[in-house]
Structure 1
């Protein structure tokens, strides 16, 4: 789609009257819009891109993850780099392959020294993964008796000696199995696989989105501050401005800010020292 056609499409969407939308409508409209505005071959993410909608879904789709049964014992060596979070806040770690890990307090990861070709990582506690795609080098997460092999997606892994293991899928598709068990479980985004200490497994649903239906922008500001730690400031004349948006609970903050910027034709400045985002 060329720039003129893109402008025409954005103008049509912008001028539509806000209304209640079904989840399916939101998802379909966003996927169509994202494929035009954010082509997959674009290498660099710029803060200023096309984006406008009365109802938008902030969601990036992954390609899939697979939980393997009985990984070879001779091919699971992980000894290398250890990162432990001894603080009371979530700690963000960027791995050598540019994958991102959000490590919860009192949690630890250990990953292979030759990580570029041996993408193996062991988890104690809880961690959220945003995995860099690399079909030649699968990304494997070990947690107790489970192994999750990833091509590129986002998910959380939580394991402890009391409650067992939980894998919550935010993007992609999943086939799961457990050591010494023949049964397989197929997950879709929004489902959690739980393997308990009593050696039983179950699948339950969870809400992976936060919906804002005709809410004031100040409500979105409060959400960003609570979940990302940044104070958001809008011009005074936007105090009563309303927004309808669906946000993936694990979405990158820069994506959310960029979309709001384009929806309301606002510029913004990020002050990292003050943890503040000011729209203008």
Structure 2
């Protein structure tokens, strides 16, 4: 086979690379590859070099095709993975290797790799709330059914719906949403909810705050019990104290407790075993 025909064959192979690169990038790479491979300085090695390069290209194409058709759980970094399930009736707190926190709802499960600090990819079945540690070098991605949530430093909930549906609610920061086999992407802002189901993706606003307008402090006590499962006791003289405050529905409990402590100049103690907060 002469050089022109070999050129044509190699160019066909090269252009079959998965569409991760633009046509300009592929053409530039092809020209660089061609100039190096068909250099005229060592013509006597040309035949075996063609064969070797062709074998490498074919291997690359096959390998790349397999990789990009895999689901997240089939990727190499999941060969040694960690599975955490919540079989209890209360929320389970999970601290990931990168210090991100997950509040795993009952009957829910997450799976992540042993080298999670470098491959911050995690799958969810059920419902989970994430508070992600920022790391620009290592994106945090959550896979749930057919969707991928790419985290740009934030807190959000992911809820699986049926076989393919997902609801992602953003409380702080920013996330990018992608759907399998769709080129479009959605960037969510705090207070926006992404709903996907039956091949339809929509974004809606939702109320991410709970407002207390000149209410008794006991109203906050009831709120903490209902949403966090902690009993809060305050001195009797503060029973009729009024409070106006806006609380993020997924705010850390300790942040709320510290806020109340500063507002009323009180000290507090948290008993994790009894799930009790005592102000003095």
> What TM-score, normalized to structure 2?
0.71
Distance in 2 (alpha carbons) for counterparts of 1:117 and 1:182 = 26
For the pair shown, the structure with the greater C-alpha radius of gyration is: 2
Deviation for aligned residue 1:74: 6.1
**Does the 8 Å CA contact 2:192/2:205 hold for their aligned counterparts?**
yes
2:259 is matched with: 259
Distance 2:121 2:178 in 1: 18
Match of 1:168, SS state, is: strand
Q: Indicate conservation of the 8 Å contact 1:144/1:159, yes or no.
A: yes
Distance (whole Å) between structure 2 residues aligned to residue 150 and residue 252 of structure 1: 19
Judged with a 3 Å threshold, the aligned counterparts in structure 2 of structure 1 residues 220 and 163 are, in CA distance, closer, same or farther, namely farther
Q: Could you tell me which residue of structure 2 aligns to residue 128 of structure 1?
A: 129
**What is the rounded CA distance, in whole Å, between the counterparts of 1:98 and 1:270 in structure 2?**
22
* Greater relative contact order (CA < 8 Å, ≥ 6 in sequence): 1
Question: What's 2:204 paired with?
Answer: 204
Are the structure 2 counterparts of residues 186 and 273 from structure 1 closer, same or farther at C-alpha, using a change threshold of 3 Å?
closer
Q: Please tell me whether residue 89 in structure 1 is matched to residue 90 in structure 2.
A: yes
Q: Give 1:183 shift.
A: 3.3
CA distance in 2, matches of 1:134, 1:183: 25
Q: Deviation at 1:72?
A: 4.1
1:168 equivalenced with 2:161 (yes/no): no
* Structure 1: distance between partners of 2:217 and 2:269: 17
How many angstroms apart in 1 are the aligned matches of 2:141 and 2:175? 13
Give SS of 1:101's match: strand
Structure 1, unaligned runs of 5 or more: 1-70
C-alpha contact 1:124 1:160 (8 A) present in aligned 2: no
Provide the C-alpha distance between the structure 2 equivalents of 1:227 and 1:239, rounded to a whole number of angstroms: 20
How far 1:146 sits from its partner (Å)? 1.1
Q: Which moved more, 1:155-164 or 1:200-209?
A: 155-164
Deviation at 1:186, TM superposition (A): 3.4
* Deviation (angstroms), 1:268: 1.1
Give the structure 2 partner of residue 239 of structure 1.
239
Structure 2 residues without counterparts, runs of 5 or longer: 1-66
Structure 2 CA distance for partners of 1:221 and 1:74, relative to 1, 3 Å? same
Cα gap change, 1:117 to 1:195, in 2 (>3 Å): same
Q: Distance in 2 between the 1:186 and 1:136 partners?
A: 19
Q: Give the whole-Å Cα distance in 2 for the aligned partners of 1:249 and 1:149.
A: 22
Residues 118-144 of structure 1: CA deviation (Å, up to 9, x unaligned): 111001111110001111111111111
Looking at secondary structure, tell me which structure has more helix per residue: 2
Displacement after TM superposition at 1:203 (Å)? 1.3
1:133 match: secondary structure: coil
| Equivalent residue number for residue 64 of structure 1 | none
Are residues 254 and 274 of structure 1, via their aligned partners in 2, closer, same or farther at CA, if it must alter by over 3 Å?
same
Shift of 1:162: 4.8
Which whole-Å deviations, capped at 9, do the CAs of 1:214-244 have from their partners, x for residues lacking one? 0100110011111111111111110110000
> How many Å separate the matches in 2 of 1:100 and 1:175?
19
Give 1:273's aligned residue. 273
CA 1:114–1:225 in structure 2 vs 1: closer, same or farther (change >3 Å)? same
Offset at residue 179 of structure 1 (A):
2.1
Q: d(CA) in 1 for partners of 2:207 and 2:70?
A: 38
What is the number of equivalent residue pairs in this alignment? 209
Cα distance in structure 1, aligned partners of 2:228 and 2:256: 11
